[in-house]
Amino acid sequence: MRIKETILILLLGLLISCAQKNKEVKKASILTENPTKNVLLYKDIQWGKLNPARGDNSPLAATLWGDRNAEVPTGFLAKFKDGFSSPPHIHNVTYRAVVIKGMIHNDDPKAEFMWMKPGSFWTQPVGEPHITAAKGNVNIALVEIDKGPYLVKPLSEAKSTYERPINIDYTNVVWLGYDQTNWISKNSKALMSFLWEKKEGKSFGCFIKLPPRAKIKLMSMGEVFHSVVIKGEVNYLIKNKMETLVAGSYFTSQLNTFHQLENKKDKEVVLYIKTNDKMFIEGI
């Protein structure tokens, strides 16, 4: 008798879970009649100096969202010349970063160089001494902060906190499929990797990987949604037109929105996404 009761409870839980997912997807469908979407193509990005005090030795920077000089969440691209190596320094805020092009090293000044390639992820805690170096014809990273301004400070202002830096090479990223997360449908063949999460604001960051020749519809339910193409080339539907987004391109939306994407190439596509609510990916 207890076995039967247990089976019934498990079945009831499964039905409730499926019903909840269908309810969320239906909710997203209702609220996406007039979604607010914006796209910034890589070719249209405007570059300026990341650290003007260094003059021509400064890396370049381009803001995608927010304002790195203000007290707001911000995402920007940083571009480094081949052979660039910064002096040891600290920052006044913690940042997260993803390599988009070239190879980048970011670590303690005394650490051996570990060259991270596109798709690698790292974090740099506030007040922690480090250097940043780059190797390659074009070296670009996405840098993200929860609150600005983003400043470079001398080692004399270094401080120790509970935070520790993280360096994840692209080969060590852990990917989840449809059988490991209920955010992906089986027919999409997409993969997901959760990178970080903050309870405050319920925000999190993740990678989405699209296999070659894949076409998906991504339903984002968060009021905050930022996505940057990290690897590959993807077509994105906006205003009844397909835009081609290469690595470094950016798209965003507000409220619950459908994002239709297609990978027409024979190489995989990797997207970085920051949002504050659930997503669901289904194949088309």
Res. 53 pLDDT band, cuts 50 70 90: confident
What pLDDT is recorded for position 37?
Answer: 86
Q: Give the max Cα distance, the chain.
A: 78
What pLDDT is recorded for position 93?
Answer: 97
Q: What is the mean pLDDT of residues 206-234?
A: 96
Does residue 127 sit in the same domain as residue 181? no
Res. 240 pLDDT band, cuts 50 70 90: confident
Does residue 142 sit in the same domain as residue 193? no
For residue 208, tell me if it sits in a domain. Answer: yes
The whole-angstrom separation of Cα 230 and Cα 137 is 17
pLDDT one-digit tens code per residue, 158-216? 998 999 999 999 999 999 999 999 999 999 999 999 999 998 878 999 999 999 999 99
For residue 18, tell me if it sits in a domain. Answer: no
Does residue 177 sit in the same domain as residue 36? yes
Does residue 179 sit in the same domain as residue 265? yes
Least confident segment among 22-26, 78-82, 238-242: 22-26
Of all residues in the chain, the percent with pLDDT exceeding 90 is 80
Query: Is 276's pLDDT higher than 90?
Result: yes
Question: How distant, in Å, are the alpha carbons of 48, 170, 212, 262 from that of 217?
Answer: 34, 25, 15, 9
Query: Is 38's pLDDT higher than 80?
Result: yes
Does residue 146 sit in the same domain as residue 178? no
Does residue 178 sit in the same domain as residue 37? yes
Select from 93, 88, 76 the least CA-distant residue to 228: 76
For residue 12, tell me if it sits in a domain. Answer: no
What pLDDT is recorded for position 201?
Answer: 74
Number of domains the chain is built from:
2
pLDDT one-digit tens code per residue, 119-136? 999 999 999 999 999 999
Domain boundary among 138, 154, 172: 172
What pLDDT is recorded for position 202?
Answer: 87
Q: What is the mean pLDDT of residues 227-250?
A: 96
For residue 272, tell me if it sits in a domain. Answer: yes
DSSP codes joined into one string, 6-19: HHHHHHHHHHHHHH
pTM score above 0.85: yes
Does residue 167 sit in the same domain as residue 190? no
What pLDDT is recorded for position 256?
Answer: 86
Residue 3's H or E segment, with its range, is: helix 2-30
Query: Is 279's pLDDT higher than 90?
Result: yes
Does residue 195 sit in the same domain as residue 149? no
Does residue 166 sit in the same domain as residue 197? no
Does residue 279 sit in the same domain as residue 226? yes
Average pLDDT score, the chain: 89
What pLDDT is recorded for position 35?
Answer: 61
Does residue 187 sit in the same domain as residue 130? no
Token pair recorded at residue 275: 């949002």
For residue 46, tell me if it sits in a domain. Answer: no
Res. 69 pLDDT band, cuts 50 70 90: very high
* φ and ψ at residue 246, rounded to 5 degrees: -90, 175
Q: What is the mean pLDDT of residues 67-80?
A: 97
pLDDT one-digit tens code per residue, 94-104? 999 999 999 99
Domain boundary among 155, 172, 189: 172
For residue 217, tell me if it sits in a domain. Answer: yes
Select from 16, 64, 17 the least CA-distant residue to 44: 64
Instruction: Give SS3 for 162.
Output: coil
Question: How distant, in Å, are the alpha carbons of 48, 88, 197, 273 from that of 223?
Answer: 29, 38, 16, 13
For residue 106, tell me if it sits in a domain. Answer: yes
Please list, in sequence order, all residues whose beta carbon lies within 8 angstroms of the beta carbon of residue 142, skipping any fewer than 6 positions away.
Answer: 64, 75, 76, 77, 78, 97, 98, 100, 228, 230, 272
Q: What is the mean pLDDT of residues 42-59?
A: 92
For residue 132, tell me if it sits in a domain. Answer: yes
Buried b (16+ CB within 10 A) or exposed e, 56-79: eebbebbbbbbebeeeebbbbbbb
Domain that holds residue 274: 30-41+173-283
What pLDDT is recorded for position 29?
Answer: 44
Q: How many residues does the chain have?
A: 284
Does residue 167 sit in the same domain as residue 177? no
Residue 82 neighbours by CB distance under 10 Å? 12
Q: Which CATH number fits the domain that encloses residue 125?
A: 2.60.120.10
Q: What is the mean pLDDT of residues 229-246?
A: 95
Domain boundary among 129, 149, 172: 172
Decide: 217 and 279 in contact? Cβ < 8 Å.
no
